[in-house]
Chains A and B, each alone.
Chain A
Amino acid sequence: MQYMLIIHNDPNTHPTPGDPEWGQLMADYAAFSEQLGSYTGAPLNDPSTATTVRIRNGETLVVDGPFEETKEWMSGYYVIECDNLDQALKAAAMVPSAKFGSVEVRPVAEM
């Protein structure tokens, strides 16, 4: 089964570039990704860079900003292959940002 690990962070509590913990965090991510082996995933830029698109009555509406303003926002994701939820939960607990924010585990729907 495929699972998406969705990383949510509060920018007030999560290290940012320049913080003393930043270097360690990046090293942890590199180690984690290597351990995963094959995966899809990426970090995302912050919501101030987001643009949202909707089509209503045939008209495309483009607005500045994220779908929803929240204190915690999605800052990255992984898609991994696992035998069962327990494996996915174990991987989620190893995501370095789990120490600061939270990691939501969602099964990818089978179509």
Chain B
Amino acid sequence: MGDALEAAYRADRDRVLARLIGILRDFDLAEDALQDALVAAASTWPVRGVPENPAGWLVTTARRKAIDRLRSGAASERRNRAWGELSVAWDIGDGTQPIADDRLRLIFTCCHPALTLEAQVALTLRSLGGLSTEEVAKAFLISETALAQRIVRAKRKIRQAGIGYRVPGPDELPDRLAAVLAVVYLIFNAGYLPPSGTDLVKVDLCDEALRLIGVVIDLMPDSPEPLSLAAMMHIQDARRDARVDRHGVPLTLEEQDRSRWDTDEVAAGLALLDRARSMERPGPYQVKASISAVHASAPRSDLTDWNIIVRLYDALLLWEPTPVVQLNRAVAVAMADSPAAGLSLLDDPALARPLAEYHLYQATRADLLRRSGRLEEAAVAYRRARQQTNNEAERRFIDRRLQALDAPVVPDGLPQP
């Protein structure tokens, strides 16, 4: 019986919580009431049997518990909430359609641009994710207390600033959906390449991001950009095992053993991209996913069609005219044309100035210098890149490159760290 409760909780926690937040309009009250309902389930299910619709049972019970809490004054600070509202529309049906809508509202509330990006991520993971506070805190390398404070502040802002629990209207939707997708991709990337620490790949957050984008796709099946983001994440995720060597040192796309790519996951990604393309409404994620797809479709790295990739980056610049996109385009030009052609783009002050402190800029420059035979300049650039990253795995990668150049890892006169 404990297993039934465990299963119901795991399968439906986010649906039930979203529904409760929708009814109660209060994150904290919803969480407390769900907790009460779980306690009640633990004592009644073993006696009376598991209800036919466990999620519906949890919603009904939690709603009753919320009213108890409001009535008893345990939540007296919420006195201005008219609990009479709670008794209207008791019918919760079979729990499929309205619950789905609630989750979509909840996603848009959690990813509202009036909240800081950190708060959006924390709130999304806590409200819609299957991770505990401890796991989320660990993934983002902050203390549980700091994370809890971040969430408390965000909930307070939602309540006091009147951030609506609603799906944005058609005129707001493109921007707001972009914010949701940015949060999901940030979660994926935090799992794929954490800013510091020793592990290059943190599996849980990647899975969590893939699960979240699956929810968005289910709820907005006619939107192409969520499909494209999912495609891109699947193609990236397929390379998870091939991305580092035995010692955890990152491998470039060129160096990866492509037989270790998960071909099923690549195929799943390509199929999602096809679905997005067939809607004929291109967007930045569609272009990015297409770039991933070109890489994924090359059986060997030297068979990559770099000319198409350059053109795709040209297209991406129409949506995102940023130095980082320019940097990636320069890499593609270096591959399609020559390292010198890529270098001349990198050394353009319009690019060099904003990216001077970005370790991937220095690492890319170092790589192109190496390929052009300018080895001493390459070593200088690698060392600068090494100083700019805190990620242990990336540092080992740079050290390996420096050794290949036959240059000391640390310049003379400095102590070995």
Contact = CB atoms under 8 A, between A and B. Distances in A.
A89 B80 CA distance: 25
B162 A1 contact: yes
Binding site secondary structure of chain B: loop
A82 interface: yes
Contact of A86 (B80, B160, B172): B172
A98 to B, nearest CB: 16
Interface string B133-168: 000000000000000000000000000111110101
B114 interface: yes
Contacts of A109: 160
A24 to B, nearest CB: 24
Nearest to B113: A89
A88 B161 CA distance: 10
Interface string A1-19: 1010000000000000000
Contacts of B162: 1, 3, 82-85, 88, 107
Interface string A88-111: 111000000000000001010110
B172 A107 contact: no
Contacts of B114: 85, 89
Interface residues of A, number: 14
Contacts of B166: 84, 86
A108 B168 CA distance: 23
Nearest to B164: A84
A110 B80 CA distance: 10
Interface residues of B, number: 11
Contacts of A110: 80
Nearest to A87: B164
Contacts of B164: 83-86
Interface in A49-105: 82-86, 88-90, 105
Contacts of A89: 114
A110 B79 CA distance: 12
A107 B160 contact: yes
B112 to A, nearest CB: 8
Interface in B240-275: none
A86 B161 contact: no
Contacts of B112: 85
Contacts of B163: 84-86
A90 B175 CA distance: 13
Given A85-B114, A89-B114, A107 B161 contact: yes
Interface centre among B160, B161, B163, B166 (most CB of A within 10 A): B161
A93 B264 CA distance: 47
B273 to A, nearest CB: 32
17 contacts: A1-B162, A3-B162, A83-B164, A84-B164, A84-B166, A85-B112, A85-B114, A85-B161, A85-B164, A86-B163, A86-B164, A86-B166, A86-B172, A90-B172, A107-B160, A107-B162, A109-B160
Interface of A: 1, 3, 82-86, 88-90, 105, 107, 109-110
Given A3-B162, A86-B168, 4 more contacts: A85-B112, A86-B166, A88-B162, A107-B162
